[in-house]
């Protein structure tokens, strides 16, 4: 057993019908849901949960009948994955590659490696992926190569990133180009413990949310790197590309969130509205990332936006917390976590909360799942009335905000900012991938 393999399993259950597969998925989802929130908070390994899936026989639902599997329809396979994800979304994400690749290789019929891989799946093996690379122009570009040798074997050479589905996998599908054959691609199946293969799932980067209003390690630096790379590829005819300035203190952003808080409060029972605790939440980052561009730049920007919005909404008392941390548990991230904070409020007797996702400009998965589902469920179980303020989404004011930033750039007009107590620096426009400030994206201080 490797550090990333689910290891040997007992004989997996045999599922031969759609009804058996769906019933098994429902039962297992209920088990997975029991500890999913705590596993997410603690960063616990999901290998035990992946082993449960393997032993349940659900991995084999991708195997066609001609290879000894149940031969289920694609619709049933998708439904099995959906139900498992309902129990623990992280498990569903890890298994997505298994279901996609398991379906894809069915087109090989009896041609290798399909028979060998399907036989392993029936014995409890999981499939993973390794496709994404850095420094490519599109998602289909590849630097990884596979080169034929004279003895009929091949040499695979390259590095992949974000191979989430590789955790627990016995076989990993690696996308590559065939060296010396222009335009020809290949999918190579490898095993994590093969000689020459290194799978480092501790090596990860803090992902900034591309939709945030504040500067953060990826949401800022990654933009300017991508712009510079794209212009270099386009050559002398490359157009001028501009990254708009940060807008965490823009009057329209403050106004939209303030109005959203009022609308959320109105959904609470009338007798609880005045006592509801206002909680602002933003995406957590590693503390090292928060310090990278100056003393706590990201957390201070979020805190400043929080104070501006709270004042505009008429709240003197409020809380600032964080959410959606990931990565190894030994790496410290910004705290407190929103779920832990809600637990503490419940223990103090809080009867109602209004949650404002100040760090997000759209209702994506980390809002609708982490807050609308998981946090709301936690609140209901604790007897706490729950209301969530909307993000800007398609609010016309958000479009006006964006066009206003463009107009500032075009005319040289002074930036529109709300001035509050202890203002925080916000960095400006970046042209053609240049750094907007040496303190923001340059050498860490």
What digits encode the pLDDT tens for the residues 12-70? Answer: 888 989 999 999 999 999 999 888 877 777 777 788 999 999 999 999 999 999 999 99
Rounded Cα–Cα distance for residues 326 and 362 (Å): 20
Average pLDDT over residues 273-292: 89
**Bridge pairing between strands 352-356 and 385-388:** parallel
Q: Phi and psi for 127 in degrees, rounded to 5?
A: -100, 145
pLDDT score at 436: 59
With 0-12 CB in 10 A as exposed, 13-18 as middle and 19+ as buried, what is 246?
buried
More confident residue, 328 or 445: 328
The sign of the torsion formed by the CA atoms of 444, 199, 174, 180 equals: positive
The region that residue 156 occupies, defined by phi over 0 for left and psi between -120 and 50 for alpha, beta otherwise, is beta
**Does residue 14 sit in helix, strand or coil?**
coil
- What average pLDDT does the structure give for the chain? 83
CA 83 to chain centre: 19
Rounded Cα–Cα distance for residues 165 and 190 (Å): 14
pLDDT at 6 over 90: no
pLDDT at 155 over 90: no
Rounded Cα–Cα distance for residues 203 and 162 (Å): 9
pLDDT score at 437: 56
pLDDT score at 71: 92
Residues with Cβ < 8 Å from 415, sequence gap 6 or more? 245, 408, 426, 428
Residues with Cβ < 8 Å from 270, sequence gap 6 or more? none
* Helical (H) or strand (E) element with 331: none
pLDDT score at 445: 32
- From 375, 363, 356, select the one nearest 310 (Cα to Cα): 356
Rounded Cα–Cα distance for residues 338 and 357 (Å): 11
Q: List, for residues 159-215, the tens digit of each pLDDT value.
A: 777 676 788 888 988 888 888 787 788 888 888 877 777 766 654 433 332 333 433
pLDDT score at 433: 64
């Amino acid at each position: 057993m490797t550090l990333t393999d689910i290891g040997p399993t007992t004989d997996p259950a045999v599922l031969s019908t759609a009804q058996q597969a769906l019933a098994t998925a429902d039962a297992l989802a209920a088990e997975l849901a029991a500890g999913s929130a705590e596993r997410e908070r603690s960063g616990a390994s999901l290998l035990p949960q992946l082993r449960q899936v393997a032993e349940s026989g659900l991995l084999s639902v991708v195997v066609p009948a001609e290879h000894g599997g149940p031969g289920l329809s694609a619709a049933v396979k998708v439904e099995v994955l959906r139900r498992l994800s309902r129990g623990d979304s992280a498990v569903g994400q890890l298994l997505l590659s298994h279901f996609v690749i398991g379906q894809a290789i069915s087109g090989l019929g009896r041609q290798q490696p399909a028979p060998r891989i399907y036989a392993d799946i029936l014995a409890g093996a999981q499939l993973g992926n390794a496709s994404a690379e850095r420094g490519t122009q599109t998602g289909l570009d590849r630097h990884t190569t596979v080169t034929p040798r004279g003895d009929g074997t091949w040499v695979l050479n390259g590095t992949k990133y974000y191979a989430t589905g590789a955790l627990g996998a016995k076989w990993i599908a690696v996308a590559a180009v065939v060296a010396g054959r222009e335009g020809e691609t290949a999918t190579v199946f490898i095993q994590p413990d093969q000689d020459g293969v290194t799978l480092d799932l501790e090596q990860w980067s803090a992902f900034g949310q591309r939709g945030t209003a504040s500067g953060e390690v990826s949401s800022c630096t990654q933009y300017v790197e991508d712009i510079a790379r794209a212009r270099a590829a386009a050559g002398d005819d490359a157009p001028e590309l501009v990254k708009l300035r940060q807008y965490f203190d823009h009057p329209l952003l403050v106004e939209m969130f303030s109005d959203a808080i009022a609308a959320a409060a109105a959904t609470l029972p009338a007798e609880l509205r005045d006592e509801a605790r206002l909680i602002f939440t933003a995406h957590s980052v590693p503390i090292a990332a928060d310090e990278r561009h100056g003393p706590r730049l990201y957390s201070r920007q979020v805190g400043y936006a929080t104070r501006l919005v709270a004042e505009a909404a008429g709240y003197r008392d409020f809380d600032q917390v964080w959410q959606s941390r990931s990565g190894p548990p030994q790496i410290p991230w910004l705290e407190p976590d929103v779920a832990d904070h809600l637990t503490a409020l419940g223990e103090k007797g809080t009867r109602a909360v209004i949650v404002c996702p100040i760090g997000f400009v759209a209702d994506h998965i980390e809002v609708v799942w982490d807050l609308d589902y998981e946090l709301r469920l936690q609140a209901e179980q604790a007897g706490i009335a729950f209301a969530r303020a909307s993000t800007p989404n398609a609010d016309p004011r958000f479009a006006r905000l964006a066009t206003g930033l463009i107009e500032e750039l075009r005319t040289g007009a002074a930036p529109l900012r709300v001035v509050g107590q202890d203002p925080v620096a916000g960095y400006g426009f970046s042209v053609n991938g240049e750094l907007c400030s040496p303190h923001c994206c340059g050498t860490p201080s």
